[in-house]
Amino acid sequence: MFEYLITNYNYMVVVFLMMMGLWAMIAKKNLVKKCIGLVIFQTGIILFYISMGAKNNSTIPIIDPKYGEAAINYANPLTQILMLTAIVVGVATLGVGLMLVQRIYKEYGSINEDRILEKFK
């Protein structure tokens, strides 16, 4: 049981974080909180990829004669590159989202979803 917890703790946290973010994106009414939820969801996915690329007893993926040539000695570079891309994409999306929040506030004077919908009526 304890062994199972250690070997899968990362993945459980991933699921927990993602669902927390998803819940905030759907259920929260405040637009800034929705954005926070979005970023939590994305970091959850990034943690998932990084966790699957981790190796026991390995070092960072920079080839060094000190640690030899064998691939088993270095952490997985591929997942890291994918997630570098995902981080940058995430911050770009976040920027656009926050810009929309500011414009919405300027136009409707509120960043609460319910209150904005009330103003439409």
Partner 1 sequence: MIWQFDILLLTLVVVCGFVSLWIKDLMGAVIVFGAYSFLMCLVWTGMGAVDVAFTEAAVGAGVSTIFFIATVFHTSRTIRYNKWDLSTKFFSSIICILMGFFLMVAIGDFPAWGDALSPVNNNVAKYYLENSMEETKVPNVVTSVLADYRAFDTMFETGVVFVASLVIFTLLLQSDGRKKLMKSAFQKVSFLNVSESLIIRKACGLMVPFMQLFALYVVVHGHYSPGGGFQGGVILGASLILLSMAYDIKKVFARFHMKFMIKSLAVGVLIFAGIGLICLILGGNFLDYSALSKLFPSMGSIKSRYNAMLWVEVGVALTVMSGMFAIYTSLSSNGKFEEGL
Partner 2 sequence: MADQFLVLIVLFPLFVGLLIPIIAYFNKSVVWPLAILSLIGSFWAVFNTATQLLKLDPSSSISYYLGNWMAPFGIEYVVDRFNIMVLFAIICVSLLTTIFAKQVIEKELGDNAANFYSLFLLFITGLLGITITGDAFNLYVLLEIASLTSYGLIALGRGRALVATFNYLIMGSMGACFYLLGVGYLFIKTGTLNMDQLYDVLPLLFDSKAVLVGFVFIILGMWVKMAFFPLHSWLPNAYSLAPTAAACLMAPLMTKVSVYVMIRFMLNVFSTEYVYSVLTINNIIVIMSSIAIIAGSIYALSQKNLKKMLTFIIVAEIGYMVGGVWTGHVDGIRGAIYHITADAFMTLCLFMAVGCIVYRVGNDKLESLKGIFKKMPITMICFLVGGFSVIGIPPTCGFFSKWYLISGAFNSGAWYFIIALIISSLINAVLFFRIIEIGFFGAMSNEKPDYKSLQSIKFNEVPINMWLPLVIVSMILIILGIYTNEIMTNFILNIVPMM
In Å, how far are 47, 56, 102 from 92, measured between CA atoms? 19, 33, 16
Tokens of 2: 């304890």
One-letter identity of residue 7: T
CB count within 10 Å of CB 106 equals 8
| 30 beta partners | 112
Among 22, 66, 119, 121, binds partner 1 (CB under 8 A): 22
- In degrees rounded to 5, what are phi and psi of residue 74? -120, 145
Q: Using the rule CB under 8 A, is 17 a contact of partner 2?
A: no
Site string (33-72) toward partner 2, x via CB under 8 A: -x---x--xx--x--xx--x--------------------
Count of CA atoms in the C-beta half-sphere (13 A) of 10: 12
- Is 52 a binding residue for partner 1 by CB under 8 A? The answer is yes
90-119 residues in contact with partner 1 (CB under 8 A) are 91-96, 98-103, 105-106, 110-112, 114-115
CB of 66: closest distance to partner 2 in angstroms? 26
Binding site for partner 2 (CB under 8 A): 18, 22, 25, 31, 34, 38, 41-42, 45, 48-49, 52, 82, 85-86, 89, 92-93, 96-97, 100-101, 103-104, 107-108, 116, 120
